[in-house]
Amino acid sequence: MFNGRILAGISVAVALAIGSAQAKTIRIAEHRQARIDALKTVVPDIEKKYNVHIEVVEYPAPEKDYLTKLLTELRAGNAPDIFTAPHGQDVADMAAAGYLAPLTAELKAWDGYAQSVDAAKAMATGKDGQMYVLPAMLNVQQIYYRRDILEKAGISTAQPKTWAELLDRAKEIKAKTGAYGLLFPAGVTWGGGSFTEGFRLLIVGTSTPQIANDDGTLNLTSPGIKDAFGFYADLINNDLMPIQPLLEPEPWVLPKYQMFPAGKLVATTSGSWCYIYDWGPESKNPIPNVTEVVGSWEVPGKQGGQYVLVDLESPWAVNSKSPDVGLAKKVMLELGSVKADVAYAQNLGNIPGRTDAAADPDFQKLKPLVPILAALKNGTGTYLKTAEGFSAVAEGVARATEAQLRKKTDAAGAQKILVDYVKEVVGDEAVK
């Protein structure tokens, strides 16, 4: 009997060892240490739930370098099983190239789908009605300003109602404080951010509030596009924003992480993440009492209207060439759990894509983010519809604004650079 028990125990141990040895590996690409740390908080739970080994593959931190490496590996057929598209604008092109496994059925059967913010579900749905990404996190952008500096200088902190009012405020800041008055990202080295954190915020308030037409073409020749470049021209020609840092390899470092905390830049476009990742207590250059000191304005339209921009923040996708697409999809859905969403919110300051995260005690501690998620639940937020060619639009905007930064063109010339580049990449028939 004793020997039988020993043999039985050995058999169980062997079976467990074999089961462990047979655990499949799912590779997940992630970049930036804060994001990697957030991902690792949920890896043990996923491994236990699915008896799977998760390998976190660290990619280059700058988003442009991340996307370059990812696309290279996708073309070569050796990309990780799960990865993120840097921005919502990249999804349509990646799906059209066949890199993304369709997720529509899995997402609609997922218990988190009903909790997902309506705008997130809409942005994740392509023109063909298919969903190719998990909208786990959102970025919510507007203009952030140094309330303390404006009040000390006797400058109004009231919401600017038009572009003209916003520019006048920036000029007043420059005149009374000597600091730069307003930053909109621009240039080639900022990569997709020149579009997502800059140009896009202006477009929604022009006569071209959407770039993607219903037929899938791109509306780039309208007066609204020229007007947006004209806004950049006003910033540049009136010396209202720092130019030289935007021509450097990491253009965001000096203005956002040094000049703004030091009060040498007083207003800038940014997102909810700024209260945590950029200037929060754990950031590299924190602003004391950041939630009181830094206020926000919605982005005014050219002639009026106020906009809070919402976009998918690095949405998760499954490699269509994964050796086990089914298992990869199951693992990916776990990355949309409340626990995962809150971990990313804690580390990065982005907004969970699901409304039930609002009740999580750890999310409640992120006081600057709580009202933003509540507003999204109630329908606040404007977003751009995307289409194939949007990646080219983002690159074209970067090139056009780079020419403006170097004072090589005016607004009309910048629009021509954008149109010519997009036509070269996706064809004349794609642009209207």
> Tens digits of per-residue pLDDT, 169-183?
999 999 999 999 999
What residue segments make up the domains of the chain, in order of their start? 23-133+314-377, 140-308+386-430
Q: Which pLDDT belongs to residue 322? A: 98
Looking at residues 361-383, what average pLDDT do you find?
Answer: 95
Q: Which residue has the higher pLDDT, 9 or 324?
A: 324
Is the pLDDT score of 406 beyond 80? yes
| Residue 73: CA count within 13 A, CB half-sphere | 19
How confident is residue 235, by pLDDT bands cut at 50, 70 and 90? Answer: very high
Is the pLDDT score of 215 beyond 60? yes
Q: pTM of the prediction?
A: 0.90
How confident is residue 5, by pLDDT bands cut at 50, 70 and 90? Answer: very low
Q: What is the pLDDT of residues 332-344, one digit of tens each?
A: 999 999 999 999 9
Is the pLDDT score of 233 beyond 70? yes
Is the pLDDT score of 56 beyond 80? yes
Is the pLDDT score of 17 beyond 90? no
How confident is residue 21, by pLDDT bands cut at 50, 70 and 90? Answer: low
Looking at residues 10-20, what average pLDDT do you find?
Answer: 45
Equal CATH topology for 23-133+314-377 and 140-308+386-430: yes
Cβ 316 vs Cβ 310: under 8 Å:
no
Q: What is the pLDDT of residues 240-254, one digit of tens each?
A: 999 999 999 999 999
How confident is residue 399, by pLDDT bands cut at 50, 70 and 90? Answer: very high
Q: What is the pLDDT of residues 180-207, one digit of tens each?
A: 999 999 999 999 999 999 999 999 999 9
Question: Is 23-133+314-377 a CATH 3.40.50.1820 domain?
Answer: no
Is the pLDDT score of 9 beyond 80? no
Is the pLDDT score of 421 beyond 80? yes
Q: What is the CA radius of gyration of the chain?
A: 23
Instruction: Classify domain 140-308+386-430 at the CATH topology level.
Output: D-Maltodextrin-Binding Protein; domain 2 (3.40.190)
- Mean pLDDT of all residues in the chain? 94
Q: Which pLDDT belongs to residue 1? A: 45
Looking at residues 85-108, what average pLDDT do you find?
Answer: 95
Looking at residues 327-336, what average pLDDT do you find?
Answer: 98
Is the pLDDT score of 18 beyond 80? no
Q: Which pLDDT belongs to residue 64? A: 85
